[in-house]
Chains A and B, each alone.
Chain A
Amino acid sequence: MRHTASVTLVLAAIWLGNSGHYDALLLSFGVVSIALVLWITHRMDVVDHESQPLHLTTKLPAYYFWLFKKIVASNIDVMIRAWRGPSSISPQFERVPAPQKTDIGRVIYANSINLTPGTLSVVVEDDYILVHSLSSDGMAELKSGEMSRRVCGLEE
């Protein structure tokens, strides 16, 4: 029930933000299309704690703030390497353990790896992620496990 309410809220926000016309006719079109989307998502059985991770709402902002600082740092690193050319990179391709218990934790971890330039998750399995990294520093930092620990902290 809570998940349905959150889907409805998100869809309504998207409609109101995009339309810009607030007369009766267009608002009723909005209600009809939200109802239609809700019916389809229920038929597809995708409205649950995975598509609407409400239990993470309080913890996610702090994590994404930390991740954003990480993204800025790695962007600068990759930018410098791009200007210095191919001789400045030494790509690594290794398995990194993913100790997250839930699927959504693993997805957030793999997504964070992908969002930071310089590391790329290629294959996601149950207990490890195959990661391509632009430099050995990036791989070492990932293996030190700070990001993984923070994602595990989200799950509890």
Chain B
Amino acid sequence: MDVYELLSAILLAIGSFLLLSGGIGVLRFPDVYSRMHAAGITDTLGACLILLALMLLAGLSLVMVKLLMILAFLLITGPTSSHALGKAAWKSGVKPLMGKALNR
């Protein structure tokens, strides 16, 4: 096992843990807006780490270029779709739960 494989295994492990935390957060948080933050973990750092790990496995090649393109695409579309989702929810009158009021 060389250095790259070891590094990519570490990145995959951390990435998987982040994805799992995001999934748990989406189940546990109380309203749409706070769930969006949990989904944000899996969309930004989780996807970043897993694609970086795959890039380390691929080495310098066309495969790496494709992985970079997927990463760039996920990082551009992620915030756009979450903004669209938040705006649509707000316009249709979904009120966010505020402050400590939700700890009944």
> Footprint of B on A, CB under 8 Å?
14, 17-18, 20, 71-72, 75, 78-79, 81-83, 85-87, 89-93, 110-111, 114-124, 130, 132, 134
Contact A85 B18 (CB under 8 A): no
- Alpha-carbon separation in the docked complex, A120 to B96 (Å): 12
Chain A residue numbers with a CB within 8 Å of B45 are 71-72, 75, 117
- Does B58 reach chain A (CB closer than 8 Å)? no
How many Cβ-Cβ contacts under 8 Å join chain A to chain B?
Answer: 110
Name A114's contact: one of B34, B82, B100 (CB within 8 Å): B82
- Does B60 reach chain A (CB closer than 8 Å)? no
Given A17-B66, A91-B34, are A114 and B90 neighbors across the interface (CB < 8 Å)?
A: no
- Alpha-carbon separation in the docked complex, A93 to B101 (Å): 13
- Does B6 reach chain A (CB closer than 8 Å)? no
Contact B79 A115 (CB under 8 A): yes
